[in-house]
């Protein structure tokens, strides 16, 4: 986690702090009894107890949720015309000569369908590769 936080903050010219790594908090947590830290039914017990009177109940009862990029939304709205007219266009894919255009077209159709499945992540990976390839083409033998 620290590596990611450090990397992202440096990329954006930000200085961030990790307050839970303050030595006083670490010492406090290390001296707690196991029962005070671990519970099968709940995570972050100490924080929940400390802030339950300040936050709405639904904050404490909702399931844990990871951070996800809204790829499908981006690819279907702001980036859609760029995908169709550039990155996954027949002219671009065929000129590049790496991918089978029929497969790219199938993937694109799935992305824009009512049941996109994991196509957003796959299209995103393809676009990232396309961009990398353009920038590094001169170095490839």
**Cα dist from 8 to 17, 20, 48, 58, 128, whole Å:** 12, 18, 28, 30, 18
Q: For residue 13, which phi and psi values (nearest 5 degrees)?
A: 65, 35
Using the predicted structure, report yes or no on whether residue 67 has a pLDDT greater than 90. Answer: no
What is the tens place of the pLDDT at every residue in 86-141? 999 999 999 989 999 999 999 999 999 989 988 999 999 999 998 999 899 888 86
Using the predicted structure, report yes or no on whether residue 33 has a pLDDT greater than 90. Answer: no
- The length of the chain in residues reads 141
pLDDT cut 70: percent of the chain above it: 99
Distance CA(72)–CA(120), nearest Å, equals: 5
Distance CA(110)–CA(112), nearest Å, equals: 5
pLDDT category, 24, cuts 50, 70, 90?
very high
Q: Which two tokens stand for residue 128?
A: 């990232």
Distance CA(138)–CA(141), nearest Å, equals: 8
């Amino acid at each position: 986690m620290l590596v990611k936080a450090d990397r992202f903050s440096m990329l954006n010219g930000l200085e961030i702090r990790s307050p839970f790594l303050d030595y006083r908090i670490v010492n406090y947590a290390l001296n707690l009894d196991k029962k005070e830290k671990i519970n099968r039914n709940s995570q972050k017990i100490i924080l929940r107890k400390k802030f339950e009177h300040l936050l709405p109940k639904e904050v404490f009862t909702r399931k844990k949720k990871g951070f996800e990029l809204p790829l499908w939304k981006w690819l279907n709205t702001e980036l859609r015309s760029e995908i169709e007219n550039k990155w996954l266009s027949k002219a671009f894919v065929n000129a590049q000569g790496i991918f089978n255009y029929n497969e790219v077209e199938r993937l694109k159709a799935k992305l824009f369908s009512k049941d996109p499945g994991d196509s957003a992540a796959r299209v995103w990976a393809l676009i990232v590769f396309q961009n990398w390839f353009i920038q590094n083409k001169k170095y490839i033998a």
